[in-house]
Amino acid sequence: MLELALNRKHDESRQGEAFALKEPGNNPFTKKFYIESYGCAMNFADSEVVASILKEKGFGITSNFEEADMIFINTCSIREKAEVTVRKRLTEFRKIKKHNPGLLVGVLGCMAERLKSKFLEEEKLVDLVVGPDAYRSLPALIDEAESGQKGVNVLLSREETYGDISPIRLNSNGVTSFVSIMRGCNNMCSFCVVPFTRGRERSRDADSVVQECIDLFNEGYREVTLLGQNVDSYQWVNPVNNSIVSFANLLERVAQISPLLRVRFSTSHPKDITDEVLFTIKKYDNICKYIHLPVQSGSTKILQMMNRTYTREWYISKVNRIREILPGCGLSTDSITGFCGETEEDHKETLSLFEYCEYDLAYMYFYSERPGTLAERRFEDDVPLEVKKRRLQEIVALHRIHSLKSMQNDVGKTFKVLIEGHSKKSDQYWAGRTDHNKMVVFQKEGNLKKGDYVDVFVESCTAGTLIGRVKN
């Protein structure tokens, strides 16, 4: 797939995933809801918030849409492909609705505000449209829809963080979990629709974040990923004493819960990640030495058109600083090829930056113009599709070399691995990740179980997986 390659942020295997409780047990609820989620980790985390809100109101969840009284699709607007997929899925559910007129179909999330009129009035695909800041109103909107009215709330909020809601962990491995620490984005990158679909930045109460992480640890979870559109801009003011909690402060507080709780975070904007954050990572062994640092382009001209607020040289200096403070730190990135006005020279600059950084992991896309963005209003999408695809192929090919090299460099080394579950290919093998976010598989032995830490000696690798054995 050219549009998206080697992508764990938008895990293609999870797109359209039907959420279900880890241990469903006997479902006593008379009304059941079904959720499919698309897009980034934030959308999947939001579905867990929605499930909690609905459960509190007496609704039960099912992973079988045929037995559901209501179907929700949690949507993504980042890429055109995601919207096309969602629209197709809604058409399929409309056919089901013909045989079950009482079935309610709703769209949640980022597509809600942008396409509410089309979904509700023109195409008549859904009964409810609910934006990412309006999930608390969902039970009332369901009541409206059941009475024959259309349920709509797409208002964005400057305060809503859902900080007081304990998410229901859906499809969980019981070991790793996302914890949302903020919502929205202020950066206004010209290619991005997120500020328009998710609103302005709001940071969650730090105490509630820490308490959620404590609760997860007590439930047996051993890794949390602090989640936000731009985690490094996190800032919460304590209303009691007016003290300011920065992202570095929050990261430290979570790390101090227990040395057995691994801490990750995503995503960082290069302009905001500070030395204070880097030294905090260095200070605590349980904060993973892995940073996702989206570059988007290696050309300063294109970066300026994207409104990224940094130059190629500045970005390189940030990478150098990370490697100075955190030697061996895992580094991943996002890149967009074929942005408006991109020349072959601009493309070569992206390739050369990839050569310099040698990312362990990259999320690579070709540019897809999104309605309502600054780029759509200001620039012409003038790079032909076949050129976008060819340039993306070149970036992907180069990155695969670097990715394989990174994996090969780990052969012969020993890593502390958190066991997340069985290997996908064999239940005779455990699978887990290193501190640097690399997947490791190794043969089962002894009394090891999910959630245990184990030292694994790496004997070989593929382009995406380390293969090893338990070090005795």
Q: Which CATH class is domain 414-470?
A: mainly beta
User: Which pLDDT score, from 0 to 100, does residue 27 have?
Assistant: 53
Greater confidence (87 vs 325) lies with 325
| Domain assignments of the chain as residue spans, ordered by start | 12-153, 176-409, 414-470
* Lowest-confidence region among 115-119, 137-141, 266-270, 317-321: 115-119
The mean pLDDT value for 109-117 works out to 78
**What CA–CA distances, in Å, run from 256 to 129, 253, 260, 286, 370?**
41, 5, 10, 9, 41
Q: How far apart are CA 239 and CA 251, in angstroms?
A: 20
Is pLDDT at 258 greater than 90 in this prediction?
A: yes
User: Which pLDDT score, from 0 to 100, does residue 197 have?
Assistant: 86
pTM: 0.88
What band does 48 get if pLDDT is binned at 50, 70 and 90?
very high
**Residues contacting 104, CB < 8 A, separation 6+:** 69, 70, 71, 127, 128, 142, 145, 146
Share of the chain above pLDDT 90, in %: 68
Share of the chain above pLDDT 70, in %: 93
DSSP-assigned letters across all residues of 410-443? TTT-EEEEEEEEE-SS-TTEEEEE-TTS-EEEEE
User: Which pLDDT score, from 0 to 100, does residue 228 have?
Assistant: 92
Is pLDDT at 393 greater than 50 in this prediction?
A: yes
User: Which pLDDT score, from 0 to 100, does residue 1 have?
Assistant: 33
The mean pLDDT value for 74-92 works out to 81
Tokens at 150, concatenated:
């259309």
The answer to whether the beta carbons of residues 240 and 205 sit under 8 Å apart is no
Average pLDDT score over the chain: 90
The answer to whether the beta carbons of residues 179 and 224 sit under 8 Å apart is yes
User: Which pLDDT score, from 0 to 100, does residue 6 have?
Assistant: 34
Topology given in CATH for the domain delimited by 176-409: pyruvate-formate lyase- activating enzyme (3.80.30)
The mean pLDDT value for 196-207 works out to 92
> Which of 3.40.50.150, 3.40.50.12160, 4.10.1240.10, 1.20.140.10 is the CATH number of 12-153?
3.40.50.12160
Most confident by average pLDDT, 68-77, 155-164, 448-457:
448-457
What band does 320 get if pLDDT is binned at 50, 70 and 90?
very high
What band does 11 get if pLDDT is binned at 50, 70 and 90?
low
What band does 9 get if pLDDT is binned at 50, 70 and 90?
very low
Residue 464 is given by DSSP the state S
> Please, which residues bridge with residue 381 across strands?
none
Is pLDDT at 392 greater than 80 in this prediction?
A: yes
Tokens at 201, concatenated:
């930045």
DSSP-assigned letters across all residues of 227-261? E-TTGGG-EEE-TTT--EEEHHHHHHHHHTT-TTS
Is pLDDT at 340 greater than 80 in this prediction?
A: yes
The mean pLDDT value for 292-307 works out to 98
Q: How far apart are CA 54 and CA 255, in angstroms?
A: 32
User: Which pLDDT score, from 0 to 100, does residue 19 have?
Assistant: 55
Tokens at 204, concatenated:
């969650």
Q: Closest by alpha carbon to 74, among 95, 54, 56?
A: 54
First to last CA, the chain: 41
What band does 297 get if pLDDT is binned at 50, 70 and 90?
very high
* Lowest-confidence region among 14-18, 153-157, 202-206, 425-429: 14-18
What band does 4 get if pLDDT is binned at 50, 70 and 90?
very low
Q: How far apart are CA 148 and CA 440, in angstroms?
A: 52
User: Which pLDDT score, from 0 to 100, does residue 5 have?
Assistant: 36
> Please, which residues bridge with residue 424 across strands?
none
Q: Closest by alpha carbon to 402, among 441, 452, 454, 364?
A: 364
* Lowest-confidence region among 118-127, 350-359, 372-381: 118-127
Q: How far apart are CA 451 and CA 467, in angstroms?
A: 19
* Lowest-confidence region among 22-31, 65-74, 286-295: 22-31
User: Which pLDDT score, from 0 to 100, does residue 441 have?
Assistant: 97
The mean pLDDT value for 313-327 works out to 98
To the nearest 10°, report the CA torsion of 164, 168, 173, 179: -20
What band does 16 get if pLDDT is binned at 50, 70 and 90?
low
User: Which pLDDT score, from 0 to 100, does residue 472 have?
Assistant: 80
